[in-house]
Amino acid sequence: MSRRSVVIGVDSSTQSAKAAAVDADTGELLALGRAPHTVTGSAGARESDPGEWWTALVTAVRAAVRDADVPAAAVTGIAVAGQQHGLVALGPDGRPLRPALLWNDTRSAPQAAALAARLGGPASWPARTGSVPVASMTAAKWQWLREHEPHHAAATAGVRLPHDHLTERLSGSAVTDPGDASGTCWYGTATRAYDPDVLDLVGLDPALLPTVAPSGATRVGTLTAAAAEALGLPRTVAVAAGTGDNMAAAVGLGLGGAGLLDHPVVSLGTSGTVFAATRTRPVAPGLAGFAATDGTYLPLGCTLNCTLAVDRFATLLGLDREDAAPGGDVVVLPYLDGERTPDLPHAAGLVTGLRHDTDPRAVLGAAYEGAAFTVLRALDELLAACGLDPAAPGVRDRPLRLVGGGARGRAWTETVRRLSGRSLIVPAATELVALGAAALAAGAVTGSDPVALATAWGTGTGAQLPPAPRDEQAWDRIATVLAAATPTLLS
């Protein structure tokens, strides 16, 4: 009887680390360990201590191996999928010089706007790097560091994304992958290399950056002695290059680059994202033209305000998050932390249409509608960038794959059904980022295609909910308020 081979997929997100122990042959989730992260900051600042990410990763991996009830020797591979865009500035000793600037830190909005105006202006950036610089992109954060903390920028001996930093701590190798690198705005999605003009623009020596591996499943080494001791695992465990969280979720869903997928993905989490896998490289200023982790493409729209923003409205109203009703005349634009798609980094939330007899549940429902509208409008932009008419019957009828924490909530699923008019496929697997990372780890061990592995594991399958009649009145009401409010939100 052959020994069971176990791989570990780590989802190092904004709020926590999760480690999935997965049977490499069957895809069975044997156990899930988790540990929290701390996010600090106010007035647009969002930072975390990368040392805490490592501590959380160690805690989560040890818990997963323990709860899986397998010997440490059964673990053969590990991969990290991390929150995108964050900036980790390392000193000469390899330690972070300061807390990491996170993707949702909007202080870098002025730097993003200034960068976007260079090198031919905003229209030229998507063709070069896939995306126009916005506050979330790493290039804008590095420029913010140069301008506001020049002593830290001058002392920086290495620049890493969150997943790069953790992979380096595991393997000792400074490496990234095409997917996560494409979220920096200094990696060219057309050339599949760092863009020297952008690096010159932001004054960044390419020697400070990690090597770009061919894919997230590339084996970059094995555990260092220190990492093996911390994790309680053998040094022989293979370490994959890993990727960003959205790219790993696509792997977990079994999405490859065979063309625009039949089921576009809507992810409802701290941020709301929409993405699709394609072999063509769409160029659109309103989208992030990411690479997938295998070097194909994963165009993505992202909103900053999704489940946390709606939960905040529930708290302010003293309601349970599920105690919502359709918004009716109430419109909420829940831009509590600025917004990315649409690009309104300085926006605050807006509520309109209140009357004396307004039901608080309708206000909460309007917050759901505002968040869902923002995500679904980004989906329409994505489909158009891929050459499809979002309103065409053959396109409008395609089911959506709904993932993320919000996909488990009745109010979220019903709001998305009502505003989209589409059927929804809700995968049974809940930890798609960690499962995608596990598939990358298995690919590093065996040399197999991680998308094919995840497809064989069936991690993207689930129940299908029928469509609901599309609420055109709610859609038009929100669109009208957003159009009228945008000049104010931009100020």
Q: In 3D, which of 424, 65, 435 has the Cα closest to residue 267?
A: 424
Q: Which residues are catalytic?
A: 245
Read off the DSSP letter of residue 81. E
- The pLDDT value given to residue 284: 81
Predicted pLDDT at 1: 34
Give the pLDDT score at 38.
95
Cα–Cα distance measured from residue 81 to residue 75, given in angstroms and rounded to the nearest whole number: 18
Burial grade of 484 (CB within 10 A; 0-12, 13-18, 19 or more): exposed
**CA dist 257 to 244, 251, 293, 343, 432, Å?**
17, 11, 10, 28, 18
Determine the Cα–Cα distance for residues 315 and 48; give it in Å rounded to an integer: 24
Strands (E), 304-440: 331-333, 350-352, 400-403, 424-427
The closest alpha carbon to 300, from 329, 267, 332, belongs to 267
| pLDDT score, position 2 | 52
Can you list the positions of beta strands (E) in 349-423? 350-352, 400-403
| Per-residue tens of pLDDT for the chain, all 491 residues | 357 899 999 999 999 999 999 999 999 999 999 999 999 998 899 999 999 999 999 999 999 999 999 999 999 999 999 999 999 999 999 999 999 999 989 999 999 999 999 999 998 999 999 999 999 999 999 999 999 999 999 999 999 999 999 999 999 999 999 999 999 999 999 899 999 999 999 999 999 999 999 999 999 999 999 999 999 999 999 999 999 998 999 999 988 644 445 578 999 988 898 988 888 888 888 788 999 998 788 988 888 899 999 999 999 999 999 999 999 999 999 999 888 788 888 889 999 999 999 999 999 999 999 999 999 999 998 888 888 888 888 888 888 999 988 999 999 999 999 999 999 999 988 899 999 999 999 999 999 999 999 999 999 889 899 999 999 999 999 999 999 988 877 66
Give the CATH H-level superfamily of domain 6-246. Answer: ATPase, nucleotide binding domain (3.30.420.40)
Domain boundaries along the sequence of the chain = 6-246
The pair of structure tokens assigned to 347 is: 């926006």
Q: Distance of CA 331 to CAs 349, 406, 489, Å?
A: 11, 20, 15
pLDDT at 259: 46
pLDDT for res 282? 80
The beta strands (E) that lie in 229-270 are given as: 238-240, 243-244, 265-268
